[in-house]
Amino acid sequence: MALRLITDAAVEPITLEEAKAHLRVDHTDDDEWIARFIRASRRNAERFLSRALITQTWEMVIDSLPDVAPYAVKIPYPPLQSVVSIKYDGEDGVEVEYGVDSYDVDTVSEPGWVVPATTWPTTIEAINAVRIRFIAGYAPGTDSPVDLAANVPEDIKGGILLHLAHMYQNRETVSEKTLIIAPQAYEWLMRPYRIDIGMA
């Protein structure tokens, strides 16, 4: 299985103002650095949790579709919002889009699932023969930029702030003590939300 990011998050779960308040920074000299650390901390959290935090579009590439019941395909990086398309290379090697009425999507379970109404179509026997494009991430409160991160759990935001502060305060030298303390507090907040879907 391979994953390709199609469209990244439009905003971050932590605003620059929230980050600066946490860091107790009242100047603008480091704004660019802090913005980079916010983005890096969010991506680090997503890798650790195997979750998408803010609405983003991904494509999962697999070699084949399951041919035994229950025929379910697990979709990584929950919470799953929707499946955009399922495309596969038919036996003749020509790409076909599987009709949206031919499968059902479970967006409640974590991770989400997609199952065919009956059985999956036959694909060519080749690597990367199936491509499932999906939208994942905590659904926004509204279309307002302020509310796009409203549904990200507070514990996850707290973990991101801890990671952000750790990077900001230790840009040059990281001692053994800070290496031990920061991840421990981070895991206390994050681990309850971690999903095991076979990804690092």
Beta strand 56-62 with 73-75: parallel, antiparallel or unpaired?
Answer: unpaired
Tokens representing 194 are: 């971690």
Local confidence pLDDT in tens for the 200 residues of the chain: 899 999 999 899 999 999 999 999 999 999 999 999 999 999 999 999 999 999 999 999 999 999 887 899 999 999 999 999 999 999 999 999 999 999 999 999 999 999 999 999 999 999 999 999 999 999 776 666 556 677 899 999 999 999 999 888 876 655 555 444 456 788 889 999 999 765 33
d(CA 59, CA 100) in angstroms, rounded, equals: 16
Quick check: pTM over 0.75?
yes
In the chain, what are the domains?
Answer: 16-50+145-193 (1.10.3230), 56-136 (no CATH)
